[in-house]
Structure 1
Amino acid sequence: MAYAHGFKANPHWLPRPKPGSLSAIPGENGLPFIGNTLRLLKDPVGFGKRMATTYGKVYRNNSFGGPNLVLLGPDANELLLFDREKIFSSEQGWGPMLNLLFPRGLMLMDFEKHRADRKILSVAFKPEPMRHYAESLNAGIANQVSGWANKPLNFYDAIKALTLDLAADAFLGMPLGEEADRINQAFVDEVQATIAPVRIPLPGTMMRKGVKAREYLGEMFAREIPKRRADGAKREGGQDFFSQFCRAVDDDGAPLSDAAIIDHMNFLMMAAHDTITSSATSLVMLLGRHVEWQDRLREEILSFGLNDGGGVPTGQLDRLVLTDYAFKEALRLIPPVPSLPRRALKAFSFGGYDIPAGTFIGVNIAYTHQMPELWPDPTAFDPLRFTPEASKGRHKYAWVPFGGGAHMCLGLHFATMQIRILMAQLLSRYRIELDAGSGDEWQAWPIPRPKDGLPLRFVPLD
């Protein structure tokens, strides 16, 4: 079964619905062959708002190779993400974008297979490994940020390099050394290929670069697996994710295959540094624009006392309540994954429309996060939206930067911990001063990033 631009579907995938099966749903097809893809990539927020204003909260679109539906609002988020009736496939939703780049990752698994692999991988996020990661993160962040004083800095580039080093330590348990730049570029090439207009790896295309990057990273992981398994057998294994995946077994005592470990590591390494890079950058930008919140977070951080590394003691991190609110508000305003795709395995109804099996469906997280009926003055930065009092009665799926349901981000607690440690290290040392116009324009896809890199200066506290 061939899909758009030569993409090959897996044999068990449903065929596309018959042409015209979505014609009763309002929307537009766009230009021949490319549909609305270029318009969507150019201004996804503006495009989504225009479509919602014109057609309502259920609309038909044509992008990335074929017709799809967009469902807007928290009820739509709950329907697709919680998925009580197991109607929606994450594998077939993400597949056209990710299948050549991140095959067999958790996002490309459904139902029992997803549950089984998620259970195996969750051992890496239990309390003891998390304490190890916290110590490692604190030392690594302190070492880097101590050298950021009073120098012009493009924060996005600096934090991307730092989060890759941190991911290598926590996830791989090894320094990247001379390969660091090549590894970083490989992840960049993979991520950029997810939105490549040409979906087959022809020479000279973005998709070709992404597929070659995946091959390179896969070979790097494959070289290490035998050693990690041997260390585990001798009970000398490390606490890093990679070593734990190599030691993990399923309910029947069987270990993960080499291919499964490679694919999980490839996806998790990308997510651990690219999405955290985006989230950290948006938070630092917003704190740079709202000095009063810098001061409030700094006061909170300093109130708990600092350890020898200049950060908040690990046992106190959960008490950084205002810091947590500010991070949540940054994720609301600039979610690192702006939309989530699924595919209907069965016919269903929503918003007064009957939708056939095989339909590609998307929920627009960024749109829901700015709905004024849910978030008064939605473009304002107001961390106090997340106090218990302000959150009372708000729809559970009004805020979903980590997804929801069975596919809720496995690393959300790791990401939150890393951001708290980063903020503690930065704000206990520096004031954030943005350059004029810094961060005014962002590239929204595939993962949000400021087009200018967010130039700023970290000024030491008096």
Structure 2
Amino acid sequence: MGAIKGPTARAALGMIPTWRRDPLSMLSLLAREYGERVRVPFVTRNPVLLLSKPDDVAHVLVGNQGNYVKAPTYRPLKELLGNGLLTNEGEDWARQRRLVQPMFARRHVLGFAPAMVGAATGMLDGWQRRPDGAVLDVSREMGALALDVVGRALFSADLTGEAGELAPALTTVMEAYIKLVRSLLFWVVPNYERWRTPSRRRAELAEAHLRDVVDRIIARRRAEGAAGRPPDLLDMMLAARDEASGAAMSEQQVRDELMTFLLAGHETTANALAWTLYLLSTHPQARVRLEAEVDEVLTGRPPAAEDADKLEWTTAVVFESMRLYPPAWILERQAVAADELDGEPIPPGSVLVTPPYLVHRNPEHWPNPEGFDPSRFLPGAAATRHRYAYLPFGGGRRQCVGGGFATLEATLLLATISQRYRLNLVPGFTPTPQPTVTLRPAAGIPMTLHRR
């Protein structure tokens, strides 16, 4: 791997404090200094490669994806969330994917639109009780909204009363995870993720609370049945059968998938919407165009599923926001067997890091990469762009199964909000990205609320 440049071992060791404090800056610095492929000497025995070239991303996630498994950094998530689609591997993962994939078919996803819009309308009705100019944290508000959508659309459950407990529990789990994987001990001590540190104990208590909520949802569903309403994701999970064996999901598997959906299904969309509202506030021309489109397409009525394809600029705004602030900001894989990139050997066990945060800012594929320009995602604009220059939902067979759901949700929620309200960033405040499991605003995003 000598031809791939990178810092010396001594320099890399000196970067560890920066990695722990501000990993985005460190990744960006490495890419600027050494290019699209960077060899990073690390404390682990296995080589670490940082890749921001779309061709390399395609090779790892798609072209030779059978040779790559989730990196060791996913082990702590498995300890906390179980064997859901996010953390599972091998044939167990493939079987589970076969069971879950049909649940996110477009015909099912479109059926969730009324629940999405209903959740947003409920939030906006609550905002009406606030005076014009009131300050709110859109990060917290979008978190509660996305959790409401998860409850309504996926579980037919009202989670608004539990949002005040669920959100802190999810935050505790994510903070414990990121503290663990940024510790040197994680990389040099076998099974360090199982040590009962104070952080681990706090995460276990939070995880137990999340599982208690999930268990109550499952128990209530088994007792009540569908009760004549449209089927939700939980109904589909309980009814799903493997084509080969005819077997249903085990109780444990249902729990693990629901835990994963609680985390991935609300945290990612919440962050995407919070960053989007911030970017619209700082780019008023884009917001004026979005509001005009929303007014023209919806003519004052709530959005419906069939409106999503007509809201082209609204969708483009969401996609551009996820380019700059991808909720899934980093993807990591480990090589099972030897491989190569353009003749450069990749030994077995190598960890390959492909951060969408860097790939989305690659100047070879994105003119003015730091600029906010939704026109990049208008129909036809991506025709000449590398397919893997943009990967907000990952790529290959492990691409996020809920990508279509998330896109519809973010588009309809943003349209519903923009129809009634305009939010402005509090003067003097600049949000700071906090890369945990997802890319969150570190101290929230305070904005003032204004009726349109």
TM above 0.5, yes or no, is: yes
Choose the corresponding residue for 1:72, options 45, 49, 52.
Answer: 52
Question: In structure 2, what is the equivalent of residue 400 of structure 1?
Answer: 391
Does the 8 Å CA contact 2:120/2:417 hold for their aligned counterparts? no
Matches within 5 A, 1:38-437: 38-61=17-40, 67=46, 68-84=48-64, 86-90=66-70, 92-110=71-89, 112-148=91-127, 150=132, 151-176=134-159, 178-197=161-180, 199-200=192-193, 202-203=195-196, 205-229=198-222, 239-251=231-243, 252-306=245-299, 310-437=301-428
Distance 1:349-1:203 versus aligned 2 partners, 3 A rule: closer
Alpha-carbon distance in 2 for matches of 1:34, 1:105: 34
- Report which stretch shifted further, 51-60 or 338-347: 51-60
Distance 1:76-1:93 versus aligned 2 partners, 3 A rule: farther
AA partner of residue 86 (structure 1) = G
Give me the TM-score of the superposition, normalised by structure 1. Answer: 0.86
Offset from partner CA, 1:171-202 (integer Å, 9 cap, x none): 22222365432222221112222212354355
Does the 8 Å CA contact 2:147/2:160 hold for their aligned counterparts? no
Other structure's SS at 1:390 match: coil
Does the 8 Å CA contact 2:157/2:217 hold for their aligned counterparts? no
Does the 8 Å CA contact 1:339/1:365 hold for their aligned counterparts? yes
AA partner of residue 147 (structure 2) = L
Cα deviation for residue 54 of structure 1 reads: 3.4
- Report which stretch shifted further, 183-192 or 32-41: 32-41
AA partner of residue 181 (structure 1) = G
Other structure's SS at 2:354 match: strand
Does the 8 Å CA contact 1:69/1:362 hold for their aligned counterparts? yes
Question: In structure 1, what is the equivalent of residue 187 of structure 2?
Answer: none
Offset from partner CA, 1:18-44 (integer Å, 9 cap, x none): xxxx67754347679987443223222
Alpha-carbon distance in 2 for matches of 1:387, 1:110: 36
Offset from partner CA, 1:295-318 (integer Å, 9 cap, x none): 1111111112346xx422322222
Alpha-carbon distance in 2 for matches of 1:305, 1:180: 30
Distance 1:349-1:33 versus aligned 2 partners, 3 A rule: closer
Cα deviation for residue 127 of structure 1 reads: 4.5
Alpha-carbon distance in 2 for matches of 1:394, 1:126: 26
| Ranges in structure 1 where 5+ consecutive residues have no aligned partner | 1-21
Alpha-carbon distance in 1 for matches of 2:311, 2:103: 24
Distance 1:60-1:322 versus aligned 2 partners, 3 A rule: same
Alpha-carbon distance in 2 for matches of 1:128, 1:85: 29
Other structure's SS at 1:184 match: helix
Distance 1:70-1:96 versus aligned 2 partners, 3 A rule: farther
The structure where helix makes up a greater share of residues is 2
Other structure's SS at 1:228 match: helix
Distance 1:439-1:121 versus aligned 2 partners, 3 A rule: farther
Does the 8 Å CA contact 1:306/1:312 hold for their aligned counterparts? no
Cα deviation for residue 273 of structure 1 reads: 1.1
Alpha-carbon distance in 1 for matches of 2:65, 2:445: 43
Alpha-carbon distance in 2 for matches of 1:33, 1:354: 21
Other structure's SS at 2:422 match: strand
Cα deviation for residue 97 of structure 1 reads: 3.9
| Ranges in structure 2 where 5+ consecutive residues have no aligned partner | 184-191
Choose the corresponding residue for 2:430, options 430, 439, 450.
Answer: 439
Cα deviation for residue 438 of structure 1 reads: 3.2
Give me the TM-score of the superposition, normalised by structure 2. Answer: 0.88
Distance 1:33-1:40 versus aligned 2 partners, 3 A rule: closer
Alpha-carbon distance in 2 for matches of 1:344, 1:305: 49
Cα deviation for residue 122 of structure 1 reads: 2.4
Other structure's SS at 1:138 match: helix
Other structure's SS at 2:112 match: helix
Does the 8 Å CA contact 1:288/1:434 hold for their aligned counterparts? yes
Report how many residues are paired.
436
Offset from partner CA, 1:103-155 (integer Å, 9 cap, x none): 21112234543332112112332345424421111111111123335221111
Does the 8 Å CA contact 2:333/2:351 hold for their aligned counterparts? yes
Distance 1:389-1:247 versus aligned 2 partners, 3 A rule: closer
Question: In structure 1, what is the equivalent of residue 186 of structure 2?
Answer: none
Alpha-carbon distance in 2 for matches of 1:452, 1:98: 24
Alpha-carbon distance in 2 for matches of 1:294, 1:137: 22
- Report which stretch shifted further, 208-217 or 255-264: 208-217
Offset from partner CA, 1:422-444 (integer Å, 9 cap, x none): 11111111222211133342223
